[in-house]
Amino acid sequence: MTKSIFVAYLFKGLALFLILFFIFNTYNIITNKDRLWGNSQESREYLDQLIKVSGIDLEEFEGGKKGVSKLIQKRANFYPTYGNKVTLIEEEENVFDDIFEAISNAKDSIHLEFYIIRDDRIGKRLKSLLIDKVNEGVEVRVIYDSLGSHNLKSEYKKKLKAAGVQLKAFNPPLKALLKGSLNYRNHRKLVIVDGETAFIGDANIGDEFVESLENIPFKKSLQLKIEGLAVNWMQKVFLMDWYFITGEKLDDKKYFYSGEELGEAKVQIVPSGYQRDGNIMNETYFSLINEAQERIYITTPYLILKDGIIQSLRLASLRGIEVNLIVSKNTDLFLFDWSNRSNFGPLLEAGVDIYKYENGLLHAKALVIDDSISSIGSTNFNSRSQFLDYEVNVIVFDKDLSKHIDEFLEELKEKSSKLTLEEYKSSSVLVKIKEKIGRIIIPLI
């Protein structure tokens, strides 16, 4: 057999493997989700009994707020809370400074969960800090996604474990392949300190969230610091993940906040995954958009969706709602760029304002409705994030926070170029071909 024939057969075999792998995983996603994680009933009973937090009487909400909150409550069994203090963290130099300051002040427990942890300057700073806290007698638990953090060096993990940090990987690739669950990734970003202070947003542990690197563009992030009863529900999300990875039930009251009200914000956490229908984030976004009466603001690196939300944005604009969409001019993969652009035409024709952020990769994921409801978290506006990945967002019913996020988004618009319908229609034939390809591959990414 000649070398060229061997290579041809090798590529054919690889292509067949990839096709069969995709079909196998897709089959599991559609028909066999509960089996992937063991006893569904037992899991639900434990998780639902894990925490009992006072909720808000839904009658306190007006109009669309009540409907959105009720949807989340029914679909996720996560209730709204009151008396929360919510702080927006938008400046890149503060993203990790605020988190590390909270960690350094920890007295009892530190729980971290990230899709990506890098062994870079920020990662080394985190490692040193966590080791110091363990030596002070603080419980430290860390969850990372095994595929997202595949470049994390074994030496980094060994030092953490040797010091006493409880470090666990979510869904290791080999086990995931055998279970047909490789498509399920943990994309959450959570930090919970002493059950009292929490951080949620889109930033992973990496230098690219504070500066541009040689091979990785600067990533513009948006984080929230939360204090109050809502932290209990974020803690519940972490403990859910810890239980499914380790089988260890952590239900000590010391992990939960029972203090006084610290602010005025009403907050509701929205998790996805673990026998809860995988489209809860899609439904939440869809419901928020449909409840808008005046204005919609969206920022996301990816706009890679099926027709449902795209159509709801079109209809919102056609019924007179101001719709502002800010996306990255360039994402981290050219195929994503093509898929993003494939949705621009129908939106522009309906009057949606589209802005392309040019100062790095816009990694922030935010949705603001009528200057009164805000959604921040790890969930992108793409099919994978809304139907497959394990995500967590926070919905804040607070006009002051919405105003602050609006100001942040207005600054992003100033650093972006507006795409007009005329410019879009005058695109070259090559660009239009790329759009067609991008449209075809949307269901796969």
Catalytic site positions: 187, 189, 194, 363, 365, 370
50 three-state secondary structure = coil
30/21 Cα distance (integer angstroms):
14
278/390 Cα distance (integer angstroms):
8
121/128 Cα distance (integer angstroms):
11
Q: For 387-418, b where at least 16 C-beta lie within 10 A, e where not — what string? A: bbbbbbbbbbbbeebbebbbebbeebbeebee
Helix (H) or strand (E) holding 286: helix 280-291
| DSSP one-letter string for 124-175 | HHHHHHHHHHHHTT-EEEEEEETTTTTTS-HHHHHHHHHHT-EEEEES-HHH
Residue with tokens 């040019």: 358
53/350 Cα distance (integer angstroms):
43
What is the dihedral sign for C-alpha 287, 289, 293, 298? positive
132/117 Cα distance (integer angstroms):
18
Residues 6+ apart with CB under 8 A from 427: 435
